[in-house]
Amino acid sequence: MLASTMRLRDHLQEVVWSFRKQRLRTALTAIGIGIGAFAIAIMVGLAQGIQAYVAEQFAAFGDRRVLFVFPEVARPAMRLLERISRIGRPAEPLDEEDLRMQRRSRGGLWISPAQLQALRALDGVASVAPLSWLEVDGVALAPAADAPHPQPAAAPPGTAPQTESTATAAAGGAAAPPQGSSAAARAGEGAPADPPAEPPGLTWYEIDFATMSNSPLLGTPSAGRLPEDEEPAAVVLAPQYAESFGVPAGQLLGREVLLRVPYLGDITSRFLYRDPSRYRPRWRIFRARVVGLAELSPFSRAVYASLPLARAMMRYQSGNPELLSEDKLGFQVLVRITPEAELGDLKRRIEALGLSARTVDDELRNVQRAFFVIDLALSSFGLLALLVASFGIVNTLLMSISERTREIGVMKALGASEGTIRRLFALEAAAIGLAGGLGGTAAAIGAGLLGNALVRRHLPLAEALAGYEVFSFPPWLLAGTIGFCTVLGGLAGLYPAARAARLDPVEALRRE
């Protein structure tokens, strides 16, 4: 009987013969599957490459035994859903959580002095330091010692005198805010003062972000050192600034740079002017010495300031002379723990004080969750293409059944069971999915290798990305893509296979 003699090898030979008989139709169907497989592999491969690089950057943090502590706040997503659910209903009284969210959105929710005192008193806390981002317009290389220093211009009316102690403020002291006739004048009422003149002979370079030198983003400098705890005017720069300044990296250490810091009250008042032409920005230049260069990374325009320098800049731009004092560290602090302390236990005790605490690993898990969502979003395009291609498999097999009706009748007359016919066509469908999956993943690998080569050759971050792949194809991704395409092909072939198995052999033999 045919049913007992057809083995897997016979099934495969029958599949190959069927493909040869309808080459073009099968190839086009497999190409449709391949397009979907290519889209999934290349998109997820891109996300995997970026995720691997980000994870490596987190792993390179010099000190992972730190906690980022900030006030406990309501979950904004949940609050937003609650607000949406109340649309069209009468107004309700504000609760404490509403008020906290409003204060948080306005930057008014800080760690209280009492919370700071309780935080410092916890066993296992080695130090509590502020950790804030700084608003800096640009950075310039100060003239060398043997060259004349640029002289600040005379102060226009309504601003602080532009002297060496103010225009290029000593970083360790508290820099006063711009002096105006009144707070109303600083808010934009009345005739604003002319902007101060730029010091001559300087070229200002852009800054992506500026933060404090105690930030875990910095890690260990590639050259030089970290600023001392109370070093008044010191910075660590991204190494790419040496190229921007046209100075060898080794010679940049010890040189002075100028940081242009805006007064944030002017940034706010800019949006209050009815006549934008009346807007006049105010700023102050802070002088600092370069003591180190950061590791090469995509943060190619980053500045890390010592705590006294950061304190002076933030006091100036905020107009708050008490900012970053002993009991007013802002809305986020960096807690370093003692060697014997247990990170998880200390985190729970900090949260018992009404504060939120996060570790570097917590941040990494957040990044991984975000990339998981990105993976799903990117792979959805490929899944849509595969879904469309699966209908192509159904159509191909239904046409094959129509053309091979007499052949199916002969097989059933010789003893082939319905299960044998069903397996034969299901195997054909799975083989089309397998062929498309193999071709799509192979094309994705080729495109990824080409993309990696182009990145290394043409992007300025090639040296920083050395050892990393922008497109990464882990084995699970390749095997999963191919397996999914194969299974999807097999599932798409179930209906045509069942239809072929139900053919009446007598009727099939009569058909020409």
| Nearest one of 134, 135, 139 to 285, comparing CA atoms | 139
Mean pLDDT of the region 432-440 = 90
Report the pLDDT averaged over residues 356-379. 80
pLDDT classification of 498: cutoffs 50, 70, 90? confident
Of 267 and 18, more confident: 18
Q: Please tell me the predicted confidence (pLDDT) of residue 368.
A: 79
**Residue range 379-383: average pLDDT?**
80
Closest CA to 396 of 497, 467, 472: 497
Least confident of 59-63, 202-206, 216-220: 59-63
- Where are the domains positioned within the chain? 2-60+368-510, 133-323
Residue owning tokens 């800054």: 207
pTM: 0.61
Residue 296: per-residue pLDDT: 76
Q: Which residues contact 55 (CB under 8 A, 6 or more apart)?
A: 364, 367, 368
pLDDT in tens, 287-339: 999 999 988 776 678 899 998 999 899 888 878 888 787 777 777 888 888 88
| CB 508 within 8 Å of CB 432 | no
Taking residues 35-64, report their average pLDDT: 78
Among the residue ranges 82-86, 195-199, 449-453, the one predicted with the least confidence is 195-199
Selection from 210, 367, 374 nearest residue 299 by Cα: 210
Predicted confidence (pLDDT) at residue 134 exceeds the cutoff of 80: yes
Q: Which of 55-69, 300-314, 450-464 has the highest mean pLDDT?
A: 300-314
Q: Does residue 463 have a pLDDT over 60?
A: no
Share of the chain above pLDDT 70, in %: 71
Residue with more model confidence, 305 or 463: 305
Q: Is the pLDDT of residue 412 over 70?
A: yes
Q: Is the pLDDT of residue 101 over 70?
A: no
**What gap in Å lies between CA 326 and CA 165, rounded to an integer?**
24
What was the pLDDT predicted at 425? Answer: 80
Sign (positive or negative) of CA dihedral 169, 175, 180, 186:
positive
Which pLDDT band holds residue 439 (cuts at 50, 70, 90)?
A: very high
pLDDT over 60 (residue 153): no
Q: Are 234 and 212 in contact (CB under 8 A)?
A: no
Q: How many residues does the chain have?
A: 512
The DSSP line for 97-141 is HHHHHHHHHTT-----HHHHHHHHHSTTEEEEEE--EE---EEEE
Q: Are 160 and 176 in contact (CB under 8 A)?
A: yes
User: By the 8 A CB rule, do 238 and 302 touch?
Assistant: yes
How far apart, in whole angstroms, are the C-alpha atoms of residue 500 and residue 431? 17
Question: Which pLDDT band, with edges at 50, 70 and 90, does 272 fall under?
Answer: low
SS3 state of residue 224: strand
Q: Which of 304, 303, 309 is nearest to 288 (CA)?
A: 309
